[in-house]
Structure 1
Amino acid sequence: MTRLAYIFLFSFFSTIGIIASDATYYKVAAENGDGVYSILRKYNLVDEYCNIKQFYKLNNLGKDAKLQVGRKYFIPILVYSYNAVNIRTSIGKDDWDLAVGIQKYNEMMHANGLRKSSYKEDKQLWVPFSSLYCGGSTKQNNEHQTLVGVPVANNNINKVTPAKVEAPSSNNSSTKRNFKVEQLFGKAYEQYEEVDQSLKDKVFYIVSGHGGPDPGTMCTTCPQDLCEDEYAYDVALRLARNLKQHGAVVEIIIQDENDGIRDAQYLKCDKDERCNGRKLPLNQRARLEQRVSHINTLYLKYKKKGYKDHTVIALHVDSAGKSARKDVFFYHHKNSPRGKELAHNIHKTFQSKYDKFQKGRGYKGTIRHRGLYMVNNTNPPIVYIELANIQNPLDQKRILLNSNRQALANWIFQGLIK
């Protein structure tokens, strides 16, 4: 073999990861109707082109090859033995952000039923090929989310994506990291890292619509009932977590102690939400008065403490005809310049994301003032956000997929801090 050929082969095998002698590639059997893209999409691998190329290489397939039902194929997931210490030492890479991304990916695969048990139980750690050999898709700054239902492995935006963060090992942490716990986020996400104090002077009142005896709008013809209040609450928690990671004061107005951030598609409808520790009234007007009163009381408290920057974010899911597509849209008070400004900032963020990831589709979300009770009676500036049309099958994917719910929270967050 010539020296040039040797160098070429070494470079090739290094690129595809064969040098990882302590890891093997995961195999799955093709099911009826499976193609290359559908099988990779199932495992949230299709958004990185290097994963697609690697699939063909691993299975020695031609460009137009069709998958055979029942045959097992390697997919671009490297399986490492988990050493029960931490992810970094298990894969031999001392990269904190990489480890967090890999952990989140494994938790998502477990939540979606593609893993029978967690990596901590079976000691098998799944690592997407792209996270190691394609510039790191499970690291930060992966924004391939489209919000029309295309699932992706991650939607990280500058350290604000929920992840149950690994606690640093005692012999491997050169800098002190500020970890905090919020039990409302649920066991999988209650621990979060406060990465900076950039929002320490700001107070956010996050209120999800409906709850208690009122599930809000519903889809009762879906495979399982969809309740507006459950999906609005999940996005509310994700947004609250993003804000807390940057030192903001966050008041979650509607709370459910049993429901944290959830990654399932179908979120169970229940009636145990509370406001300020109290049951939500059956009467609609009384429910609205209860949450508005709580917000305004908190506003006075923080105002007396010297806080000057206050924002209310109200999250809802709309209901329209089954054929009607509804991009995320916004309401504000007609006499609130700050509320209008915030709505426009978030709207522009969504517009820029659609322009980037949905070229040619166009973003059709609207902004207008509207005399809703919440909008008219909260003292701090308010942005009232409708996330989707719960009746439309395409809009449903915007709230059904946990990666989409996270994208909604991330993009609202980016608009708020503009």
Structure 2
Amino acid sequence: MIIKRTLRTLILLLVLYISATPAFSQSYQKVVAKAGDGIYVLLRRHGLNPNDHLQAFKELNEKNIGEGNSLYAGRTYLLPATNSAAAKATPATSSTSPSVLKVPLFGPKYERVEIINRQLAGAVFYLVAGHSGPDPGAVGKYGPHMLSEDEYAYDVTIRLARRLMERGATVYMIIQDPDDGIRDDNILKMDKDEVSYFGKPVPYDHKLRLRQRVADINRLALQHKGAYQRMLSVHIDSRSKGQNIDVFFYHHENSAAGLALAQRIHQVFDTKYNRHQPNREYFGSVTPRSSLYVVKYSHPPTVFVELGNIKNDKDQRRFVIPNNRQALANWITEGIINDYKASK
């Protein structure tokens, strides 16, 4: 009897000890970094959103992180647990979401995003900057400098992402450059380090590139069935140097929603041109073009935007000047807000 009583006491003490002990012994998945990996790429490769897990990763691996969040090829790193507080954070579309978000992808100067209002709460956007990775897209010359389509399209696109998030939208940057962020330079340095949303390298082959981004969009879209979802693909055209063109828009010929969004953005541009350049008619157009791969195969209604002619001097000023890039993002945002209101 004494032995049994003693045994029960020992078991009770053991249970109390276990329940009172903090769970510091949590095990973390170990992964090995590849050549050229940064934190963003590594996290996305393993299905983790850097916006949620960047800080936790740094804390777990602080002794093995190089300059500029670079990683050492061949070294082992710990991945943050997916049940962390960051992973459970309230989405930005919720009415109880925080009024300030931190988005490292926007760069140190712009990563703090204040939620101005909830005009776009419940709306989901997929934003694609044209070309990227090994493909710079259209190239033009600006004085002694070379301008590449992918860099300027990316800067307008990421500015657009920030504007939409400020209004409570859920936004996916389908092409991401973890090093660039939003840039306020006239001349944007050309690089090839952009990756897909899920952290995969951008393929060299043109068709594979398009298939990758469309697959990512459609995969994400499945998570938001029933929501207002739209996709915008941002590009800069290349024509003869003397041809000055305005911003114009393509949509799928069978997509009423895509047409409506394109028309509402177009209407904003027409109004802005009349206000800011009253002596100059706006010639931008809305045209069906279903043969474009991302327009044809993306499940959400899609608008394909061309910002101008990268070889024309006047058009170059439209996107070389940072304030003009911001204006483009602002005007597109205004058209999107009008479309979302109309859809409700």
Report the TM-score, using the length of structure 1 for normalisation: 0.56
CA offset digits 1:345-368 (Å, max 9, x no partner): 000000000011111200000111
Contact 2:141 2:311 in 1 (8 A): no
- Which of 395, 402, 412 does residue 315 from structure 2 map onto? 395
Residue correspondences, number: 240
The reply on whether 1:324 has 2:269 as its aligned counterpart is no
Task: Give the structure 1 partner of residue 294 of structure 2.
Answer: 374
- 1:186 CA drift (Å): 0.5
Distance 1:191 1:334 in 2: 39
Q: Secondary structure at the match of 1:334?
A: coil
Q: Show the counterpart of 2:281.
A: 362
Q: 2:205 aligns with which of 280, 283, 307?
A: 283
Q: CA deviation at 1:245?
A: 0.5
Query: 2:187 aligned with 1:187, yes or no?
Result: no
Distance in 1 between residues matched to 2:102 and 2:260, nearest whole Å: 32
- The reply to whether residue 210 of structure 1 matches residue 126 of structure 2 is no
> Aligned letter for 1:197?
R
1:262 offset after TM fit, Å?
A: 0.2
Cα distance in 1, alignment partners of residues 324 and 147 from structure 2: 16
Letter of the aligned partner of 2:276 in structure 1?
F
1:274 to 195, 203, 209: 195
Q: Does 1:345 align with 2:264?
A: yes
**Match among 157, 161, 165 for residue 244 of structure 1:** 165
CA distance in 1, matches of 2:314, 2:141: 16
Distance in 2, Cα, partners of 1:216 & 1:324:
18
Measured after TM superposition, the shift of residue 180 of structure 1 is 1.2
Q: Give the aligned partner of residue 217 of structure 2.
A: 295
For 1:210 and 1:184, the matched residues in 2 are separated by 19
Partner of 1:234: 155
Query: Aligned partners of 1:227, 1:353: CA distance in 2, in Å?
Result: 26
Measured against aligned partners, the alpha-carbon deviations of 1:187-210 in whole angstroms (never above 9, x if no partner) come to 110001012222111000011000
> Could you tell me which of 326, 331, 336 is aligned with 1:411?
331
1:223 positional shift: 1.9
The correspondence of residues 64-83 of structure 1 with structure 2, limited to 5 A, is none
Take 2:219 and 2:313, find their aligned partners in 1: how far apart are those partners? 40
Q: Distance in 2 between matches of 1:354 and 1:221?
A: 24
Q: Distance in 1 between matches of 2:301 and 2:329?
A: 19
- Tell me how far 1:221 sits from its aligned partner: 6.0
Which whole-Å CA distance do the structure 2 matches of 1:221 and 1:386 have between them?
A: 19
Structure 2 Cα separation of the partners of residues 311 and 373 of structure 1: 16
- Secondary structure in 2 aligned to 1:251? strand
Per the alignment, residue 145 of structure 2 pairs with 224
Superposed, 1:48-63 pairs within 5 Å as: none
2:306 aligns with 386
Q: Distance in 2 between matches of 1:403 and 1:221?
A: 18
Partner of 1:264: 185
Deviation at 1:222, TM superposition (A): 3.8
Unaligned residue ranges in structure 2 (runs of 5+) = 1-97, 339-344
Q: Unaligned 5+ residue runs, structure 1? A: 1-176
Report the AA paired with residue 199 of structure 2. G
Secondary structure of the equivalent of 1:361? coil
Quick one: distance in 2 between partners of 1:220 and 1:399?
13
SS at 1:343 equivalent: helix
Matched letter for residue 179 of structure 1: V
Identity, % of aligned positions: 48
In the alignment, is the contact (CA less than 8 A) between 2:132 and 2:202 conserved in 1? yes
Partner of 2:118: 197
Bigger helix fraction = 2
* Alpha-carbon distance in 2 for matches of 1:193, 1:221: 35
> 1:324: Cα distance to partner?
0.3
CA contact (8 A) 2:120 2:167 kept: yes
- Matched to 1:292, the amino acid is V
Distance 1:213 1:341 in 2: 34
Aligned CA-pair RMSD = 1.3
Q: Deviations over 1:98-134 (max 9, x none)?
A: xxxxxxxxxxxxxxxxxxxxxxxxxxxxxxxxxxxxx
